[in-house]
Amino acid sequence: MSTNSYIGRFAPSPSGPLHFGSLIAALGSYLRAHNQQGQWLVRIEDIDPPREIPGASDNILRTLDAYGLHWHGTPLFQHQRHQAYQDLIDALIESDEAYYCQCTRKIIQTSGGVYDGRCGQHQPRLTHGAIRIRNHAKVDHFIDQLQGHVVVDKAFAEEDFIIKRSDDLYAYQLAVVLDDTCQGITEVVRGCDLLEASCRQISMFTQLNLTPPNWLHLPLVCTQKGFKLSKQNHAPAIDITHPQASINAALAFLGQPLVDVDSVEVMLKQAVKQFSLNAIPAEKEIILSTINN
């Protein structure tokens, strides 16, 4: 294993098989990590059981393996981390840095669409419902390695956001910050659909006195403007029997030179050598039909 300080990761949710959009995130993060002589970790973000598909986690790992995208160490599963999440929530509740909220989406919509913090002022303190962090950091901008200076809506940035849902499931913003810290992630490479989420995560890092990673958000694969390729819109699974064509299509999407060899391992080694961050289009989305595969 490399001793370089760079540690990246690919963190899919097991809500279905990997599709071409997933491959962009996986390959982009893999190439970046290996080009930096660093480690590439895999984390299965399985904190939302109602959205998970039985067998999807194993399918994802088999697909990565078939594509030669071999990870360092052992994959981390978020369901193994519940106690760490709960310990932090308990501490935040005890110190009044988090509080219960009973506002419904309808209530929030009638107050302008952004939660106004009303439950945080409730006396006596509420004892059930969703749990929100008192967002003191209110981060509304950051520097992205590809997208440049990213600014989000100020009202969104200032909102006390949910860290545990009313259905007792842990929220993504809490879990991802604790897990990136646990795994020592130094740079997060993922799609532009999570640009806004990055500001909330930086707020969490700041409030917990943790060091945030660097950020690198890749363009989204879209079928048409504003419609990303996703499991929710039934994007087809990538072919695990002949991965070479999909790898080259993903390289083309990322602005990288194609590699004309049969072995996926050799393909990836060459792709790592040729990798150029500056060649990736600094776009938030790219229409799939515009890419010449």
Binding-site residue positions for ATP: 231
Task: Give the whole-angstrom CA distance, residue 188 versus residue 202.
Answer: 12
pTM confidence score: 0.94
217: alpha, beta or left? (left if phi > 0; alpha if psi -120 to 50)? beta
- pLDDT number for residue 112: 86
Q: CATH fold of 82-172, please?
A: Rossmann fold (3.40.50)
Q: Which residues make Cβ contacts (< 8 Å) with residue 171, sequence separation at least 6? A: 161, 162, 163, 164, 165
State residue 277 phi and psi, 5-degree precision.
-60, -40
Binding residues for L-glutamate: 9-13, 45, 172, 190
What's domain 7-79+184-197+211-290's architecture?
A: 3-Layer(aba) Sandwich (3.40)
The tokens describing 66, both together, are 């078939």
Known binding residues? 9-13, 45, 101, 103, 115, 119, 172, 190, 231
Query: 218-246 as b/e, with b when 16 or more CB fall inside 10 Å?
Result: bbbbbeeeeebbbbeeebeebebeebbeb
Distance between CA atoms of 177 and 75, rounded to whole angstroms?
A: 17
Known binding-site positions for Zn(2+): 101, 103, 115, 119
C-alpha 254/C-alpha 270 separation (Å) is 15
Phi, psi of 42 (to 5 degrees): -120, 130
On the question of a cis peptide bond just before residue 124, with omega within 30 degrees of 0, the verdict is yes
What residue ranges do the domains of the chain occupy? Answer: 7-79+184-197+211-290, 82-172
Identical fold, 7-79+184-197+211-290 and 82-172: yes
Averaged pLDDT, groups of 10, the chain, 293 residues long: 78 95 97 98 97 96 98 98 98 98 94 92 95 98 98 96 97 98 98 96 97 97 81 82 96 97 96 98 86 43
